Each structure stands twice: as C-alpha cells, then as structure tokens.
C-alpha cells in the first residue's frame, strides 16, 4: 500500500542524491533509516565517557592483535 507524504524541497533533494539507479524513494528511506554508526550515539547520552574509553581501548587492542597476526609477529 502506498502513502503520500509531504517533504520539504531540501529533503527531496537529499533523497534524490541518495537514490541509486533503479531504486525507489521508499527503498532510499528504508536504507537510510537502517544505517546506524556507533558515532551516531556520540552526545546522545547513550554511552558514557567511560563506555567510550573502554570501547576505544578494546578496538585498539583488536587492531594491534590483527596487525600482529597479519605480520606473523604473534
């Protein structure tokens, strides 16, 4: 079932630029709503500073471990 909604010209242009060849506006909107990055939570109160610090620490350790494995320096 289709619905008609009103959007500003600015939003229309943003949707139009985001649209891939052969993609409907509905698909663009759905795809955009599903996109979530961890950085979207910054400042939202979702994660505390301590949580961010721990996440950075864990990611750094994972990066070092991956680098060691790739270079054969276990």
Would you give per-residue pLDDT tens digits along the chain (74 residues)? Answer: 888 999 999 999 999 998 989 999 999 888 888 766 666 666 666 677 888 888 899 999 999 999 988 988 76
Neighbours of 25 (CB within 10 A): 14
Annotated domain spans of the chain = 1-34, 43-74
- The alpha carbon dihedral of 33, 39, 45, 50 has a sign of positive
Our separate counts of H helices and E strands in the chain read 3, 0
Planar angle of CA 45, 48, 49, nearest 5 degrees = 125
The per-residue pLDDT for 64 is 92
Provide the whole-model pTM. 0.44
The per-residue pLDDT for 50 is 85
Q: Which residue reads 């961010």 in tokens?
A: 52
């Amino acid at each position: 079932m289709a619905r008609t909604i009103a959007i500003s010209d600015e939003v229309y242009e943003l949707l139009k630029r985001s649209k891939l060849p052969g993609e409907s506006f509905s698909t663009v909107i759905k795809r955009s709503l599903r996109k979530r990055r961890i950085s979207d939570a910054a400042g939202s109160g979702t994660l505390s500073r301590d949580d961010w610090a721990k996440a950075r620490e864990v990611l750094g350790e994972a990066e070092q471990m991956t680098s060691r494995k790739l270079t054969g320096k276990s």
